[in-house]
Every structure is written in C-alpha cells, then in structure tokens.
Structure 1
Amino acid sequence: MNSWSALRARSTRTSRGRESHLDNEEVKLLLSNAHGSLNAAEILLEQGFYRDAMSRAYYAMFYAASALLRAKGIITKSHRGVIAKFGLEFVTDGTIEAYYAKALGLAETLRERADYDVTFRPEVEEAEEVVADAHRFVERIEKVLEERP
C-alpha cells in the first residue's frame, strides 16, 4: 500500500464522525509538522525571506489548529474549514481566546498574499510579528492539548 492509500485508509471516520484509534498518532504528527514549519519560518526570517517566513508561520498555526480539531475527532477538508471549525469549536466554548482565531485568520490572509501576490513585499517587522504569533499559537494549542482528558 502506498503512502497515499495508507493516509486515506487512516482517515476513515467511524459512524459518529470520529477518527479511529490513530487519532493520537495523527495529533502528534500534526504537532510535529507545526514545529517543523515554525523552525523553517525562523530560518527563513533570519535569511530575509519574509514572504516565505510568513507562509511557513501560517502553516505552523494551521497544523496546530488541525491537531486540536483532530484530537476532538473533527476532520476538515480545507484551510477555510480548519479556520471556521477552530473558531466554532474552541472559541465559542471558551477553550481558546478569540485572539488566536483572529491571528489564524490574519495569518492565512497574509499567507495567500505571500504565496500568490507577486507585488506583496512585507517589511521585516510584519514577518517577525506573524512568526511570533505562530509561536504563541502553537504553544497555546499544546497547552490546551495537555489539559484535555
């Protein structure tokens, strides 16, 4: 079975919409991806690749948000789905402060500009702020995951 087939097989939902026993493993993998993206964002920032640093910072947040959703048994199919579900599931119930949902949404908007708008030229301070937000975001998600039963 190739890796794509294995991933599709692991993504099968049960009748209640929850993932199978691989949730924990997938949450850990998503958090690992978040940390990898954070590390890449830092390196890119240091090297002056501000657009790419902003993109990687967003992906760190995206992976962390996806990990929290997956821990709750929620699977989304798009970036917008992750952002929407994150707010609905965790901000609405008070688990996560609204600041983090806003930061995720802003980072996604900036990521789209960084990736697709050839005229976008962010300043170093703007890139630093997005990377700092990504660090705070990932730390907050990890704290919530540690506190969950």
Structure 2
Amino acid sequence: MASLWRLNVHCWLGGGLGLAPLLYLAEGFCAQNKPIEILMGGRSEEELFWTDLYEDICQIIHITTDDGSCGVQGTVIALLPQLLDSGKYDCVYVCGPVPMMKAVAEVAAEKNIKCQVSFGKVYGLRSWRLLVLFVQWYRQAA
C-alpha cells in the first residue's frame, strides 16, 4: 500500500453502498494532500446523499444516475472511459456491486491504469473473472 500513496491523482468509483468504505480511504489520502476525484453512481438523485459526505474531501465529484435525474445518465461505466482518457489518473479504486466492479476493472485494464477492487462481503469471490483481473493488476504493480 505504501507505493500507492506516492501516486498523483486518484479516482474513486462507488455505487450505492459501495461509497461508504471509500469515504474512509479518501479521508486518508486527503490527510496526505493527495488529489482525489470521485465518480459516484446511483439509481436516482435520491440515492446520492453521499455527495454531501464527499464534498469536503474530493476536489471533483462526477455523478451518474440510471434515470438521468442527476449528472450523466447511465452507470459509472457511461463516464469512466472519458475520464480515464484524460490521462490524469494513476489509479482507480472501486467498491460496489460485483458487475460494476468487474466492468470498472476491465475498462481500467484496457486503459492500462491500476485498479483496486473491494472484496468486502463475498463480493468478487463469486466472480472468478474479477479475481483474475485483480491478480493480473497485482502482479503488474509488484
């Protein structure tokens, strides 16, 4: 983990309750004066009460909603490729539903950007493909 603290710009991606654990990680990076941006997604604007919690931590908050009631319409995957193409991110951290984490890890791998996924609960252990992507990233980072 120590090498991750030396990276420049970090992008956090969270969906629904997956935003909760990322908040504490973001606070740790903020204490180290590391720039943080978050891409958060939800079904609707009502589910995005997380924005209030992240406002003091993240320099920029990107938002997607499935119904288009706030931010870009669609999931976080609708906006992620465009953000990663900017070339300013060193690493992506993702926590949320398994299909979202899998899709984020695949996009990050395509863009050759490091990605850390949360295996809290039983999350990705049911998804062997996500586990394989994580192991591939881990080996590249070592």
Q: TM-score, normalised by structure 2?
A: 0.26
- Structure 1 or 2, whichever has the larger Rg, is 1
Larger helix fraction of residues: 1
- By relative contact order (CA 8 Å, sep 6+), the higher-ranking structure is 1
